[in-house]
Amino acid sequence: MPVDFPFMADQPKASARIKVSPEHFKVDEILGFEPDGTGQHYLFRILKINRNTADVARELSQMFGLRLVDVGYSGRKDKQAVARQWFSVPAQSVDAVSSSIGGLGWKVEKQCRHGRKLRRGSHRGNSFDIRLSEFKGCASDLEQRVLNLQRRGFPNYFGSQRFGHQGRNIDEARRILGTDAIRLRRPSHQMLLSAARSWLFNVVLGQRLRENTWTRPLPGDIMMLAGSRSHFTAEKGDSMLPERLASLDIHVSGPLWGDVKSVQGQTAWQRECYWLEGETELRDSVARTGANPARRALRATFDDLALKWTHDSNPRLIFTLGRGCYATSLLRELVLIDQPSTSGR
């Protein structure tokens, strides 16, 4: 995460390393629904170790003679991890399903029929079991920070892996989006657009943290219901808003930028456009792509965050996040993280 994005409180005093080995970063995808048991697709739950999602999808397409677009999955998982996630393939491409299906660093653990292809964002969330290494700091301070996150949630930043090594995806997005939007038909350029929108969101979230308004609605703010894409506009004098914010029932939202003509009269978008004056070129380039504007909660919450200590006095954190939330964004509020540079998904 770029150092100029502020923390929710003071910068952590402790430090630790992450992903010293894949076994220290475990991720299990939570579908949030039961497979049908019948239908035109096979769902595979795949265990992958030190492999990224896109490469496994590519190998599945080659194995079954499919186009890459025919292989479905809900979201990308960390490469440097022990990760379990679901993939889908058309059933007619599978002559005989075997648990021995697999490749270098991955294997099928479970398979079943389902009526639909998996789409991006169709899962409910991810559970994490993360062991930190070489922890240096005060244990009681870390425990207090965990309690603070349990009460307040944490800033819903997009993780630094979204922006590539040393932010190279953003540098490339500035170049590509500012010159030739028609190239966005290429998957690689769609990825750059996604990175740019994520960056602009982080800029707005950072500004609201500096102003201490990331959990305090301003007039005209667009509020989101927890765990939902539903939203409404904050009205002046709504006495229930503070209580609902404190109980983590609702969150202030920020922009996923796009062609904002349809929303440019709304107070929240006008204010956010002003906050992005330092990113005018990137902001306007994203708008010219015609991407639909959307909203994302400024605050993330989690289920059952547990802090344990290993035999060698290193922290182990177990928690569940909703889809689209980054474990690294939670961790950065607890310790200063030293992680490998190739944390691709």
Helix axes of 168-177 and 280-288: crossing angle, nearest 10 degrees: 60
Give the residue from 179, 159, 171, 229 showing the smallest Cα distance to 196: 171
Cβ pair 221, 234 in contact under 8 A: yes
| Percent helix, strand and coil across the chain, each to the nearest 5 | 35, 25, 40
Q: Is 129 a catalytic residue?
A: no
Measured over the CA atoms of residue 58, residue 62, residue 63 and residue 64, the dihedral's sign is positive
Alpha carbon distance 108, 45 (integer Å): 6
Catalytic choice (10, 36, 70, 78): 78
Q: Which residues of 287-319 are buried (b: 16+ CB within 10 A; e: fewer)?
A: bebebebebbbbbbbbeebebeeeeeebbebeb
Cβ pair 64, 33 in contact under 8 A: no
**In one letter, which amino acid is 173?**
A
Q: Where in the sequence numbering do the catalytic residues fall?
A: 78
